[in-house]
Amino acid sequence: MENHSLPKLHIAPLFCLLFLTSLVNCQLNYTFYDDSCPSLTKIVRYGVWTAIANDTRMAASLLRLHFHDCFVNGCDGSVLLDGGEKNALPNLNSARGFEIIDSIKSNLEKACPGVVSCTDVLTLAAREAVYLTGGPYWSLAFGRRDGLTTSETAANEQLPGPFEPLDNITRKFAAKGLDTKDVVVLSGGHTLGFAQCGVVKPRLFDFAGLDASFLQSLQSTCPNRNESNSNLAPLDASSSKFDNVYYKLLVNSSGLLRSDQALMSDNVTGSMVVGYSKFPFLFYKDFGASMVKMAGIGVITGSNGDVRKNCRVVN
């Protein structure tokens, strides 16, 4: 991470998006922790900032972890529990950032013990990861409680995969109350991070519509040998910065994942991609709105669920 100093974290964001209460689950509250844990945002932001300073990939990892949590039986912190979802194919040996959430949670337990759920920690950490890498800022309502179970089977069934056709992915989003626009917008999260070559290499043998220079670069990063499966290929040309380069690459037939490039195969999603490639502010605004929608999927509130002391195990 380039020369970030802590005072910069308090500068007002360039794109500060305020969303009306109607956009969030009505049981969540913007002031939920104002009295019980007023230092929440400061503690989470510092934890995420430190993590990214040590490993620029961590921003993408925290964003992905939040996505994978919410898409499996709702945003309930179940992906953080040991076993279950962690062992599912989309997460095994690829989901990262658990120790960052553990560290942040530990600091929160010292400041305000037994107050902040692991689910809310992960939700806030994902926003901070985007904001600290140059992306938008959106207001979050809190009050999510932690689930008591985790399911490997549910994760395998409900998470969209990099090899699935667009129709399948759209159906999985729709099952969570997210529409086609959300598919395109949230896919833009792939402006951050890397993918393992084992996921990417099938693209090497499908030359149709693939930009020639992109193909050559991909073959160099991911040679056709088993030992290259764990190599990392950047999801876009500025993989540590949140921007709209991801969409520019799709327009140029240079999407790293098959599921990403598939967005250009449909007139509706393709036109959205073109729009976001030209207007970054529009992408930032819509990304914040879609993240708010996603963070409200299947939340547990009130006296249900738990507020875990340790995010890896139920109390």
Tell me whether residue 68 is one of the annotated catalytic residues. yes
Q: Tell me whether residue 243 is annotated as binding.
A: yes
Q: Give 33's pLDDT tier (boundaries 50, 70, 90).
A: very high
Q: Tell me whether residue 160 is annotated as binding.
A: yes
Q: Residue 10 in 3-state DSSP?
A: helix
Give dist(CA 101, CA 111) in Å, integer: 15
Q: Give 22's pLDDT tier (boundaries 50, 70, 90).
A: very low
Q: Tell me whether residue 102 is annotated as binding.
A: no
Average pLDDT along the chain: 89
Of 4, 10, 66, 68, which residue is the catalytic one? 68
Average pLDDT over residues 36-53: 98
Helices (H), ranges, 71-223? 98-111, 118-132, 152-158, 166-174, 180-187, 197-200, 212-221
Q: Tell me whether residue 179 is annotated as binding.
A: no
Residue 191 has pLDDT above 90, yes or no: yes
Three-state SS letters, 14-69: CCEECCCHHHCCCCCECCCCCCCCCCHHHHHHHHHHHHHHHCCCHHHHHHHHHHHH
Q: Tell me whether residue 182 is annotated as binding.
A: no
Q: What burial class does residue 110 get, using C-beta atoms within 10 Å of its C-beta: 0-12 exposed, 13-18 middle, 19+ buried?
A: exposed
Q: Tell me whether residue 191 is annotated as binding.
A: yes
The CB density around residue 265, as the number of other CB atoms within 10 Å, is 11
| Residue closest to 80 by CA, chosen among 102, 53, 103, 113 | 102
Per the model's pLDDT, the better-predicted residue between 253 and 152 turns out to be: 152
Task: Please tell me the pTM assigned to this model.
Answer: 0.88
Q: Give 26's pLDDT tier (boundaries 50, 70, 90).
A: low
pLDDT at 122: 98
pLDDT at 205: 62
- Which residues on adjacent β-strands are paired with residue 194? 234
The CB density around residue 128, as the number of other CB atoms within 10 Å, is 24
Using one digit for the tens of pLDDT, what is the confidence trace for 87-142? 999 999 889 999 999 999 999 999 999 999 999 999 999 999 999 999 999 999 99
**CA distance to 9, 43, 112, per residue, from 38 (Å):** 17, 10, 9
Strand 137-138 and strand 16-17: the pairing is parallel
| Residue closest to 58 by CA, chosen among 20, 96, 28, 27 | 96
Which residue type sits at 75?
A: C
Give dist(CA 186, CA 292) in Å, integer: 11
Residue 16 has pLDDT above 60, yes or no: no
And the tokens for 58?
A: 């961590």
pLDDT at 232: 87
**Residues near 126 by Cβ (< 8 Å), separated by ≥ 6?**
62, 63, 65, 66, 67, 291
Q: Tell me whether residue 254 is annotated as binding.
A: no
Average pLDDT over residues 199-224: 73
Q: Tell me whether residue 185 is annotated as binding.
A: no
Q: Tell me whether residue 274 is annotated as binding.
A: no
